[in-house]
Every structure is written in C-alpha cells, then in structure tokens.
A and B are shown apart, each in its own frame.
Chain A
Amino acid sequence: MTKIEAIIQISKLDAVKDALHEIGVEGITVFEARGHGRQKGHTEFYRGREYTIDLIPKSKLEIVVADDMVEKVEQAIIAAARTGKIGDGKIFRSRIDEAIRIRNGDRGDSAL
C-alpha cells in the first residue's frame, strides 16, 4: 500500500477530485494548508506598511491506494492540477505499513 500526498492549488481541488473519482479512487482526505516552494508570496499593505505574505493557501490531499494504482493516481493528479506556472505544487509518495477499516476490522488492500 502506498500513500500519495499532493499539495496543489486550491483552484484545482475540484478538478483533481473528479479525476480521482473517475479512475476509481474511493478514499481521500483533504487539508487546508499554507506554504510555499520556490513561489514567492505577495505583498499586502496595512496602514502604509508593506508586509510580505509568504505562506500561501494550498490544498493538500492524502490518498492511500494499492500499489498497482499508484502510477494511475499520480498521472491523474498531475493532469488535473498542472497549469505550467510556478505554484502548481508537489506530490510525495511513501509506503504504508498497514491499513484497517474501523467499522469491521478489514485489513490491507481490502481496507482501502
């Protein structure tokens, strides 16, 4: 089992969700995040002082899928979220040791 974490533009969240549903992903967790990569922030004015806001709002998704789905999921996310501009975000992949369905105790791939 593999966890895929994707940090994307907030405006792309709906498109990515739809794309994942289309390829059969059934579980997804979404966080409101702030951060930056190489993207600079923006400046705001308050009472004549300039402030740099360098933590930009983003959406973070976590999906855990069976290993044979990983490539499809990553391609789907990239296709839906890419604009070609700085700030598109990143995907991180990691291994999951175990997954358990709370309702009935299913383990492993059948819990996903």
Chain B
Amino acid sequence: MLLTLERARSLHRAMVRMPALLLLALMVCLFAVGAPAQTSSPNASATPAADATAAKIAALEQAVADARTSGDNGWMLVSSALVLMMTGPGLALFYGGLVRKKNVLSTMMQSFALMAIVTLLWGLVEFSLAFGSGNSFIGGLHNIFLRGVGAHPDPDYAATIPLQTFMIYQLMFAIITPALITGAFAERMKFSAMAVFMVLWSLIVYAPMAHMVWGKGGLLNASLGGRFPCLDFAGGTVVHVTSGVSALVCALYLKPRLGYPKWPMPPHSVVLSFIGACLLWVGWFGFNAGSALSAGSLATSAFVATHFGAAAAALGWSAAEWLRNGKPSALGTISGAVAGLVAITPAAGFVSPMSAIVIGLAAGIFCYLMVTKVKNIFHYDDSLDAFGVHGAGGTLGALLTGIFASSAINPMFKDAQGATLPSGLIEGNAHQLVNQLIGVAIAWALAIVGTLVILKVVDAVIGLRVPEDHEIQGLDLSLHGEEGYYMDSPA
C-alpha cells in the first residue's frame, strides 16, 4: 500500500533537482550575455541576482511539488469515492439481492448506516487509533477530532497528498470492512445491536489491525520497519480476514436462520446482486490501485493485477460450478469475481499480471469449494458467504502474496547497502511466507477473540437476535416499518 519511504524521498528529490538545475544554468547564461538589468531596491543586498535566482528556484520547487500533488491527490480523491461506492451501492445491492424480499431494505440499511456511523466514529477517534503515533499495536489519541489532519502531507504515509486525503481514503476502508460482516448475520440481527456491535468492533478489532499493518510503528508494517513485515498492499488481512473470520464467529454465535437449511431461501433478486458485483469490481480499482497512494506506475501495476485477478477468478468459480452442477450460474460467476478481487487485494501492488491470474484462478476454485462443500459439511449459516469469500479468500490471498511477491514490481526490502532484496518465495525469499502467516494468524486471533467478547457483551445488554415472529414477518416491516417493493399500491 505504501511506496517505500526511501523511494518516495529519492523520487521527490530527483524531480525537484533536475528542472531547478537546468533553470539555474539558463539564468547564468542569460546574465552572461547581458540580460536587461532588474531595478534593485535602495537597500539591495550584495548579490541581488543570486537572491532572485534563489527565489525563482524556490518557486519552481513549489510548483513541481504542487504538480506532483495535484496528480496524486486527484487520483486519491477519485479512489476514495470509488471505495465508498463499493459499500453504497455496491455491497448494499450485492447483499440486498441475495436475501429474501422481506429483508431487502434492512440488509441495505445495514451498509448505509455504517457509512454514517463509521464516518463519525472515524473523525472522532478511530483515525487516531488506527494511524496516529502510538505503539506497535494501536495508535494514540493525538489526532482525535482530526487534530493535526490538514493540508500538509505526512511523509510517513504519503508524501505528496494532504494528510486529510489519506484520512478520508482510509475512512472508506473502515466503512466497508464492518459492512462485509453483515453478510453473516443477515435476516436475523437486530439493527440496534448491529450498530453497537460495529462501533465496538471498529475500535477493538479494525483499528488495531489497521495500525499493526499500516500505522506508524505497526508490528506488521512492511513499509515502516515493523518487527514482522507482512506484505498487505490494500487490506487482505486488515479488511478481508478480519471481517470474514468475524463473520464466521457471528454466524456460529447467532445460530442459523429459522428453517435453515431445510427451507429454500434463494436470492430474491440476482439482478440486484449482479449490479452490486459489477460496482464492486469497478470500485475495487480505487481500493487496490488507490493503495499506491500516488498516481504513478505502481498504481497502474496494482490496477492491472486487480483486474486480471478478478477475471481469472470469475472463470475459475464458473468452471468449477459447470463441472459440478452441469451449468455455470450468473450468481456463481459474479461471486467468483468477488473472490478473486478479495484474494488479489493483499497482492495487488506486489505481483505481476500473470501471477495475478494464478492467484485469481486459485481463489475462484477455493472459495467455490468453501461456500458449497465446506459450508454444507459444517452447516453454519453464513448467509451471504462473508466467511467463505472474504475470510477464506483473504487468507489464501495473503499467503499467496508471500509466494508471488516480486521486488521487480515493487521493491520492499533492502539490505544495509541499499540493494534490493527478494520479496516472495518464488523470487528467493522463503521467509516472507512466515511473516505472512504471522499476519494472518494475528488477524484470525484478533477477529475471533474480539468478536466473541463483543458479541457476548452486546447480547447481554441489548440482545442480538430478533424474536421469531419478527424474523418470520421480515425485518423490513418489523424493524423499519417499511416494505422494499410496494408493487400492489392502489392507483
């Protein structure tokens, strides 16, 4: 997700120096052939020409920096919008279409409410906990109420964009991560309980994980000298493993929906899910390519890897389904694409397009088996396959990153002399797989323990599950007093 600090700094220096040096040479030549004299002020210094030159160079350096910022910031603001779009309406539609008609609004409402709730929480305290200076596990309170988050960049994170841009970009990640969990307890969770659960989950699970992988001093931060550098470009562990594993815990704790697995509960609108999945694919370019935090070639590389991973996974899932059921379904194919996007997320800025294809294919087939075979063996009601796709896909992707990461794409590790070291297993760094495993294990552990504790507390205080008659009537009516489709309204 981050350029190496060294790389960003040296690039900046090079870009500023070249034009400044050229201009200085030009100015010297002009003075040498007698350019018209500038009027000097009565108390001019001994070398007014040198002053003027210094001022011009300073202005040039500023202009170059502004131009660099303008390109990077433009892309990052677009990326932020794309990632928000992934939640609303991407995920809202994807999940909304998968549930029964009587629950469509309540499902979409969960995603939308999080867009509002997490935003406020982020501004008040969560950004500081995730990205403020603290210790290896959590940030501090220095940036609460977004203090110190303004137009100036923070070079530890992104040297060419305002810190405020970085903050708003990261906010969109903090929004979609809890929204993914809602897929596990769809159609049976109280709205009030969900809201409280998500606030606590954001503070107890998401903020520490984000801090460890991406924050200053984070234990797993590969760009800022973490003790166990885990390669996670856009959030395979931070977003998908944490949410997916938490989803599994929720599904097991809340127990299945009434009638599961006997009654058929097919999606009420695969059409909505289809549209949602397409929005997710497009939005994911902001999620992955935006994690380059700049508009340069690394963003392109991540963009391309993301796209190829999605395509390969869609075909992988579809082929597996065609072989097993005799027909490739639309729902299966779009689910495959999502699985590929999940798996490529940690790898996007580290792997080549061909590696992305391999990762995508593997994820498509693996996640297909998770949501069909494994789910049916253990009978957990992960209603919308949050664990099967995000938890499993994220874990697989994080591990495959350790295999396929290449320093030719993105040099992450340097030795004492500054020479580039190999990134992943194929390139010759077998140890990285261990670091990836550590990152994944921490994500699993934090998700399981954190989620269990929060579930118990919220259940005791508010109660998690709706009463049976509410579940039968449907949450749209019982929790929100609304109907999604009032088709028979009188004229």
Contact = CB atoms under 8 A, between A and B. Distances in A.
A41 to B, nearest CB: 11
A92 interface: no
Interface in A17-54: 44-49, 51, 53
Nearest to B265: A46
Contacts of B261: 49
B481 interface: no
Contact of B375 (A44, A45, A47, A51): A47
A48 B266 contact: no
A45 B376 contact: no
B327 A48 contact: no
> Chain A: interface secondary structure?
strand
A47 B264 contact: no
Contacts of B376: 48-49
Interface residues of B, number: 16
B122 to A, nearest CB: 34
B12 to A, nearest CB: 50
A49 B324 CA distance: 11
Contacts of A45: 325, 327, 329
A47 B325 contact: no
Contacts, number: 27
A104 to B, nearest CB: 23
Contacts of B72: none
Contacts of A53: 264
Contacts of A46: 264-267, 331
B168 to A, nearest CB: 36
Contacts of B331: 46
Nearest to A51: B264
A94 to B, nearest CB: 27
Contacts of A48: 324-325, 371-373, 375-376
Nearest to B263: A51
Contacts of A51: 264, 266
A53 B375 CA distance: 22
Interface string B325-339: 101010100000000
A47 B327 contact: no
A30 to B, nearest CB: 16
A48 to B, nearest CB: 3
12 contacts: A44-B266, A45-B325, A45-B327, A46-B267, A47-B371, A47-B375, A48-B324, A48-B371, A48-B372, A48-B375, A51-B266, A53-B264
Interface of A: 44-49, 51, 53
